Homo-oligomer: A and B are copies of this chain.
Amino acid sequence: MLRLSDAVPLSEIVQLLAGRLVRGADSTRIDRLATLESADGTSIAFLSSRAYRDKARTTSAGVVVTSVELADAVPAKAALVEVPDPYRAYGLIARQFNAWLNTRSNPSVHPSAVIASSASLGHGVAIGPGAVVGERVCVGAGAVIGAGCIIEDDAVVGTGVELRSRVTLGYRCVVGDRSLVHAGTVIGSDGFGFARYQGHWEKIPQLGRVQIGADVEIGANCSIDRGALDDTLIGDGCKLDNLIQVAHNVQIGEHTAIAACVGIAGSARIGRRCMIGGAAGILGHLDICDDVTISAMSLVSSSITKPGFYSGIFPLMNNADWERAAVVVRKLPDLRARLRRLESYLKEH
């Protein structure tokens, strides 16, 4: 990570964290946020998990922030700041360093952007080179539309939204306040709807929208389809990683987090506060209740009505062992039948 050009005194950081300076000088100067391993004397580092105590013991960090419980792993030469939740504290400091390092230039609209005269831009909107803003688009105050973004007619971009480069926001679709969408993501592509007729497929136009709530983050190169008639809905506070497919009329509840490469089929409804592991699949027309966790690469093929942690993964093996196991998997019904026969034979004799 970069260093600050102007180091800050530790006192400023302790105050920001509402932490307790247990050891070290208020005036220690910090110019870098670092991992325990890569930290040096002017770096601040965080110990937030028991698993990293060994790394803390050998760190060269000038300052370590941790909890009372883990404080004894911090070497005596480092300044020590105690906080109730070190991981959250790390997030706070990271946000502060991000602000210091990436001071944003004054918002401006690049002359190469193509903006329809009927579009309305709020106060302090920034629009990057080559971006396209269609007819009757509303862009809220302070929104940032990155280079090469395409905002189609009648779309709505909330206040403080950030669309990184090359995002497509389809006609009539809505992104809620303060949401962040990463590069290459497509919001509002057509749902996959066709009627089979005389050996070929007839397209069913997709007339709904995508509605994305507030404080949502969506990663890079995702695709989120518009609804067939009703809208595709992503609730407030949801966090989606990269390369995720959300089909038409999916509904995702508030504060659900979805790891990369997940595919969600049409009309699936996912509850609130769920956590979906990477490359998991969710079939269409089913319901997942609130507070469900799904393991990576597992397939949800029917509704889940009970909160909990669900998995379905073929375990990894040496390939030769796998080949032998796979042969038996194909014969499992036969195996069970043979076992039953033995059991009833022995019962009779």
A residues lining the B interface (CB < 8 Å): 1-2, 33-35, 38, 85, 87-88, 90-91, 94-95, 97-98, 101-102, 110, 112, 114, 128-130, 132, 146-148, 150, 152, 164-166, 168, 170-172, 180, 182-184, 186, 189-190, 192-195, 197, 199-205, 207-208, 215, 217, 219-223, 225, 228-230, 237, 239, 241-243, 245, 247, 255, 257, 259-261, 263, 265, 273, 278-279, 281, 283, 293-301, 308-319, 321-333, 335-336, 338-339, 342-343, 345-346
Contacts and interface: CB of A to CB of B under 8 A. Distances in A.
Contacts of A201: 237, 239, 255, 257
A328 B335 contact: yes
Given A182-B186, A322-B313, A223 B243 contact: yes
Contact of A325 (B171, B180, B219, B330): B330
Nearest to A130: B130
Contact of A220 (B90, B182, B186, B217): B186
Given A130-B114, A220-B186, A325-B330, A296 B281 contact: yes
Contacts of A333: 321, 324-325, 327-328
Contacts of A336: 328, 331, 335
A74 to B, nearest CB: 18
8 contacts: A95-B203, A110-B114, A219-B223, A223-B260, A297-B299, A312-B317, A331-B336, A339-B339
Contact of A313 (B112, B230, B310, B312): B312
Contacts of A195: 85, 87-88, 90-91
